Structure 1
Amino acid sequence: MNTRISAAVLFVAACATTAACAAPSETPASRPQTQVPVPFGGAVPALTDGHQRRLDGLERRLADACVAERGVEAEPLDLPAPSAVSDETPAWNPYGLLTEDFAAKEGYGITGPVLRGEPSLREEPERDTGDDEEAYRKALTGTDAHRETVRLPTGESFTVNTDGCQFRAGEELYGPGWDRLMYTYQFLANQVVEEVERSPEVERARSRWASCMADAGHPVAAGSSAQDPVVERAETAENRAADGAGGQTALREAAAYELAVARGDARCQRESGLWDAVADAQRTAERPLADAHHATLTAYAKALNQAVHRL
């Protein structure tokens, strides 16, 4: 992607946007996958992965139109439509939580889209940016002559070229001051996630989860994710499918492996109490930040809603 949100994610070593917290009466098995806990979920609108990808596509079309208006010839970027499962998954899942219903149907949502023949969303499609690459780059990202340093309420700062089409597309879609709101949210959210993961309750729950996964035959190395070997197998199978020679069989085998790991993962999350531990720790971690930055979070939510209404 290179999308605006993904750029922010790389900037703060976190992932990016939002979803709402689940109702207390629901269990991890029955609640929608889109209701995973995320920082400030009660104040910020829930976006599915499908929402976010459509927003990214609209923003890129606005940027391409801006580039064309400046007389720079470049092929517009034709991002593929979101996969069928995108509207059932959250735009951001910072703790890697998984419901048993979703796991039983889609696993992690990795191999299914490939088997259905849906286009890959992991990489932007190649395109012709014209004969003058430097002119295209300046039109898209702007020039140092219009570089500004913006100080965030959290104390950090970032620089941006305000004459770039990428910057102006974000302002057009989300409203004035979007970059400042986006980066502030990301820094605040990253603080919450880090504090949640350090909490003793979550550490104990993750230890119980790891023991459960090992007992289920899917041991997970410390600091890694249960999805890592699934992604590796899926990529290997996808490459084999592209080359022929038993690729579809490899994909089906990768899909079966994904379902087995994901089902175990979701069950172990429930049995270890991971969902509740994360939700409780997050409420504690985000409360002082939500109070201190209420106006910024409100403005960020308003900007997201404004953009979604354009879809």
Structure 2
Amino acid sequence: MRTRSGLPAVVAVSVALVAGCGDASGHARPDVPHPFGGAAHIPVAERRLFAAAEEELVADCMRGRGLRYLPQPPAEAAGPEETGAAVYGLIGPREARLHGYGMGERLVATPSSSGGAAMPVGANAAMRAAMTARERRAWDGALLGTPGREARIEVDGNVFTYAPDACVTRARQDLFGTDWDRLRVTAEAAVSAVAARVWRDPAMTAAVARWSECMAGKGHDLRAPAEARAVVDRALSGAAGGNRAGFAAALRLEHETAIADADCQCDSGIWEAVVSAQRAAERGTPATASAAVSSLRAARVKALEAARRITATAPPPTR
């Protein structure tokens, strides 16, 4: 099931009545921004640009160590662009009717893999396979770092581990700066803390209770929006790799659940509650975390300028 073949016919759902909450409830649905104005969120287009620039920098680093590395094209993004609503598991009627939660689409569009994200792909995999065992160890060590020498960053229980001597690390630091990983982990922890405070807000608690009652009326016994996605995730995971009919049924469940979820979110006022609660939650962010978010924003702007320069002079990627 994890192929790039066409989606099962069930995905071609009706696109009627996809305009948004305003059509059903008489009021426009508010936009829900990422916490801190999106400073800790990198859109798909920027991620692809950064990935392309990092590949060029990895190749430069490997070349400096007398080794060959072929920059690879960035992976295609599956599903719709993430919005601020994704932080809270919110979904609008249009997205629900066109994509469900996007979970089935991503599953179908993502090839299965027996290795991790750090394993070389494409031409590099073929080149690595042709090496002797000794050459392969040297190449892997240069690219991914020396085993047992990992460094660790921990912020509020969030841990990021990296290899200081790896070319993938050197490339990331050359592009974003040596403090990028600490800033990113700190900013992501701040985003998670804001989202947690939003869910504890009394107005949000009341909106979720209304949502749960609405969902029960549609045949879904769920206490919170996250439970709706969890039900779908279990169904898709259980059907993936099985027969086509079972996977199609899981996709139908995804779309039916997502549409009910979106309609109940509109009717319960969850979107409005999030917007209000997020403003209050951001005001309670510690000064150190706010400073990290601001520094991350500045580092990202600088990295974008560098990435554009690097990719503008790079040769076409090797596939």
Give the counterpart of 1:265 among 257, 261, 267: 261
**What amino acid is the match of 2:61?**
C
Alignment CA distance shift 1:29-1:73 (3 Å)? farther
Partner of 1:7: none
- Cα distance in 1 between the residues matched to 2:211 and 2:35: 22
SS at match of 2:35: coil
What do you get for the CA RMSD once the two structures are aligned?
A: 4.2
Alignment of 1:44-55 (within 5 A): 44=39, 47-49=42-44, 51-52=46-47, 55=50
1:203 is the counterpart of 2:205: yes
- Cα distance in 2 between the residues matched to 1:75 and 1:253: 41
* Per-residue CA distance 1:72-124 (angstroms, 9 max, x = gap): 577876663223x34x323882211111111111111122355xx63449974
**What amino acid is the match of 2:262?**
A
Partner of 2:283: 287
- Cα distance in 2 between the residues matched to 1:157 and 1:45: 17
- Cα distance in 1 between the residues matched to 2:234 and 2:276: 33
1:118 is the counterpart of 2:120: no
Partner of 1:277: 273
- Cα distance in 1 between the residues matched to 2:253 and 2:158: 43
Give the counterpart of 1:103 among 64, 86, 96: 96
* Shift, 1:283, TM fit: 0.9
Listed as ranges, the gaps of 5+ residues in structure 1 are: 1-25, 242-246
Q: Indicate conservation of the 8 Å contact 1:141/1:165, yes or no.
A: yes
Give the counterpart of 2:219 among 209, 217, 220: 217
Partner of 1:244: none
Partner of 1:41: 37
Listed as ranges, the gaps of 5+ residues in structure 2 are: 1-18, 24-28, 309-319
Partner of 1:23: none
* Shift, 1:279, TM fit: 1.8
Partner of 1:139: 142
Q: Indicate conservation of the 8 Å contact 2:198/2:204, yes or no.
A: yes
Q: Indicate conservation of the 8 Å contact 1:28/1:98, yes or no.
A: no
**What amino acid is the match of 1:118?**
A
**What amino acid is the match of 1:89?**
E
Q: Indicate conservation of the 8 Å contact 2:54/2:175, yes or no.
A: yes
* Shift, 1:265, TM fit: 0.8
Give the counterpart of 1:66 among 53, 58, 61: 61
SS at match of 2:241: helix
Alignment CA distance shift 1:206-1:91 (3 Å)? closer
Partner of 1:180: 182
SS at match of 2:227: coil
- Cα distance in 2 between the residues matched to 1:182 and 1:49: 17
Q: Indicate conservation of the 8 Å contact 2:173/2:180, yes or no.
A: yes
- Cα distance in 2 between the residues matched to 1:235 and 1:157: 27
**What amino acid is the match of 1:209?**
W
**What amino acid is the match of 1:210?**
S
SS at match of 1:226: helix
1:90 is the counterpart of 2:92: no
- Cα distance in 2 between the residues matched to 1:106 and 1:150: 36
* Shift, 1:168, TM fit: 1.4
Q: Indicate conservation of the 8 Å contact 1:72/1:135, yes or no.
A: no
Greater alpha carbon shift after TM alignment, 184-193 vs 259-268:
184-193
- Equivalent pairs counted in the alignment come to 273
- Cα distance in 1 between the residues matched to 2:92 and 2:227: 16
- Cα distance in 1 between the residues matched to 2:206 and 2:109: 39
* Per-residue CA distance 1:50-93 (angstroms, 9 max, x = gap): 5435534653564465345434577876663223x34x323882
Partner of 2:302: 306
The structure having more radius of gyration, on CA atoms, is 2
* Shift, 1:27, TM fit: 7.0
* Shift, 1:206, TM fit: 1.8
Alignment CA distance shift 1:266-1:68 (3 Å)? farther
Between the aligned residues of both structures, percent identity stands at 28
* Per-residue CA distance 1:13-66 (angstroms, 9 max, x = gap): xxxxxxxxxxxxx97669xx9x64332126x27533454355346535644653
* Per-residue CA distance 1:189-215 (angstroms, 9 max, x = gap): 222222222222222222222222222
SS at match of 1:94: helix
* Shift, 1:263, TM fit: 0.8
SS at match of 1:239: coil
